[in-house]
Amino acid sequence: MAETIRILCAHGVPEDMVKRLSEEIGPVEVLSSHDEEEILRAIQDKDVFVVRSKPQVTARIVENAPRLKVVARPGVGTDNIDRKACEARGIQVINTPEASASSVAELTVGLAIALLRHLYLTCAFLKEGKWAKGQYTGKTVEGKTWGVVGFGSIGRRVAEIVKAMRAEVLAYDPYVPEEEFIRRGVKRAFRLEELLERSDIVSLHVVLNSETAGLFSEEMLRKMKKGAYLINTSRGKVIDQKALLQVLREGHLAGVALDVYETEPPQDLELLTHENVICTPHIGGSTEEAFLNATEVLVNKLKALFRLGEGVPIGY
């Protein structure tokens, strides 16, 4: 008979997820805090540790968890998990980026429409009793060139949506094979500069790493078309925020929408209060559907890893 899979859930893991895990995978213990000593005590007999963006899963925890086989993060970022320490002990780290792709993509397109149609300004005026009908002629997505930077799960979903809106999509991602662009009917830009020079709307969907941190430097921002729009729902550090404020002040960009910031919550209110900037508090993945999907994807990944229903779980 297969051994029981014991799960430790970090403080803050949603109740629905705890319920599904206990019904479909194995007994669950839920921590009452992010305290490392409490984690160390509880993790001794656990096979799976489920965390959110907290707590830090340190090398000390990983090295003192004799049965641990999987650290699972419902969501995207795994920056709080010491992946090297996990790798050294053959512990798998899994996350659920696919669960929120549509939520982030839809927010990206929504932000673009809000910018192009001046929704934020006209709404605010009307609430003050001002009928600004004639002053804010908008633009359509149809007929524009939309540059997708980072052609992974979210970038591809954005491409699908804006193609249906009859925009031409140009995508830049040096790590995606040629066939993927062809299969999805998307033109490939071989250099970021080429995409920036040709796109009316640019949306960012890269992962944050040493190559993409600061990718949108002042030099790159200036390569964008004059009057173009920029949307960032990826990670704040991909854009140099000071440089962004500078190019906005010069009127080089028509509008910017941000969901993510160099530091969160953002400190630089000068950028956020610029009249051509709209901003949201990192809500790209915050939909009921994304949370439900994350549970579904996580449970299925754990079942596959432990080969539940097939007899032999991993590591035994």
Catalytic center residues: 235, 264, 282
188 is an interface residue for ligand NAD by CB under 6 A: no
Q: How many CA atoms lie within 13 A of 233 on its CB side?
A: 26
260 is an interface residue for ligand NAD by CB under 6 A: yes
Compute the least distance from the CB of residue 10 to ligand NAD, in Å.
19
175 is an interface residue for ligand NAD by CB under 6 A: yes
172 is an interface residue for ligand NAD by CB under 6 A: yes
CA gap 275, 251 in Å, rounded: 11
Asked if residues 103 and 287 have their Cβ atoms less than 8 Å apart, the reply is yes
313 is an interface residue for ligand NAD by CB under 6 A: no
Among positions 208, 220, 308, 314, the unique one binding ligand NAD when judged by CB under 6 A: 208
Among positions 6, 46, 69, 205, the unique one binding ligand NAD when judged by CB under 6 A: 205
What one-character-per-residue DSSP string does 224-282 give? Answer: SPTTEEEEE-S-GGGB-HHHHHHHHHTT-EEEEEES--SSSS-S-HHHHTSTTEEE-SS
80 is an interface residue for ligand NAD by CB under 6 A: no
Nearest one of 127, 104, 108, 111 to 278, comparing CA atoms: 111
Asked if residues 236 and 267 have their Cβ atoms less than 8 Å apart, the reply is no
49 is an interface residue for ligand NAD by CB under 6 A: no
152 is an interface residue for ligand NAD by CB under 6 A: yes
Residue nearest to ligand NAD (CB): 152
DSSP 134: T
Count helices and strands in the chain by DSSP H and E runs? 13, 12
Helix, strand, coil % over all residues of the chain, rounded to 5:
40, 15, 45
- Angle in degrees, CA 174, 179, 184, rounded to 5: 95
CA gap 162, 195 in Å, rounded: 16
CA gap 121, 143 in Å, rounded: 24
Q: Residues 2 to 31: which contact ligand NAD by CB under 6 A?
A: none
153 is an interface residue for ligand NAD by CB under 6 A: yes
Asked if residues 57 and 36 have their Cβ atoms less than 8 Å apart, the reply is no
Question: How many residues sit in the footprint of ligand NAD (CB under 6 A)?
Answer: 32
Compute the least distance from the CB of residue 244 to ligand NAD, in Å.
17
95 is an interface residue for ligand NAD by CB under 6 A: no
Compute the least distance from the CB of residue 296 to ligand NAD, in Å.
16
Q: Residues 221 to 250: which contact ligand NAD by CB under 6 A?
A: 233-235
74 is an interface residue for ligand NAD by CB under 6 A: no
User: What's the token pair of residue 49?
Assistant: 């540790």
**b or e along 265-285 (b: 16 or more beta carbons within 10 Å of the residue's beta carbon)?**
ebeeeebbebebbbbbebebb
User: What's the token pair of residue 186?
Assistant: 């998307």
Q: Which CB sits closer to ligand NAD, 177 or 311? A: 177
**Judged by CB under 6 A, which stretch of 3-11, 26-34, 205-213, 308-316 contacts ligand NAD?**
205-213
97 is an interface residue for ligand NAD by CB under 6 A: yes
Q: Which CB sits closer to ligand NAD, 68 or 104? A: 104
Compute the least distance from the CB of residue 205 to ligand NAD, in Å.
4
Q: Which CB sits closer to ligand NAD, 8 or 162? A: 162
**Residues of the shown chain interacting with ligand NAD in the complex, contacts defined by CB under 6 A:** 76-77, 97, 100-101, 104, 149-155, 172-176, 205-208, 211-212, 233-235, 259-260, 282, 284-285
